[in-house]
């Protein structure tokens, strides 16, 4: 497939979401408030985000460059975007909170 066809296929998959003004696609916010955000997966509630934010605060993690994923078993996966990796990133790994 050529580059143009690849882009057309991607556009076909996301076109509705780009122009949709219906809830939840038309509002930025929490799924439990009939809205959506790209920072969290659709199954993350505002209560979940508050819980993970409390964890971030306890580990001195800024939530500004993160994405939160809630797994089927109820656990969370927090992806952190960073330009550099250093030994001071002791928060990397699995945690109980």
H or E element at residue 16:
helix 3-19
Q: Categorize the per-residue pLDDT at 86 as very low, low, confident or very high, splitting at 50, 70 and 90.
A: low
What would the two tokens of residue 86 be? Answer: 């250093």
Give the residue extent of every domain in the chain. 1-37, 38-85
SS3 54: helix
Q: From the CA atom positions of the chain, what is the Rg in Å?
A: 17
Let me know: does 4 contact 32? Beta carbons within 8 Å: no
Is residue 10 over pLDDT 60? yes
Render pLDDT for 26-81 as a digit per residue (tens, 0 to 9): 666 776 777 777 778 888 888 998 998 899 888 888 877 888 999 999 999 988 87
**Between these two residues, 69 and 3, which has the higher pLDDT value?**
69
């Amino acid at each position: 497939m050529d580059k143009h066809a690849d882009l057309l296929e991607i556009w076909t998959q996301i076109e509705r979401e780009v122009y949709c003004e219906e809830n939840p696609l038309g509002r930025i916010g929490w799924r439990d408030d009939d809205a959506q955000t790209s920072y969290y997966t659709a199954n993350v509630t505002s209560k979940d985000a508050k819980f993970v934010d409390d964890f971030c605060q306890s580990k001195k993690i800024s939530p500004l460059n993160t994405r939160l994923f809630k797994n089927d078993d109820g656990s969370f996966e927090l992806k952190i975007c960073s330009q550099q990796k250093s030994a001071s990133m002791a928060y990397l790994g699995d945690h109980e909170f």
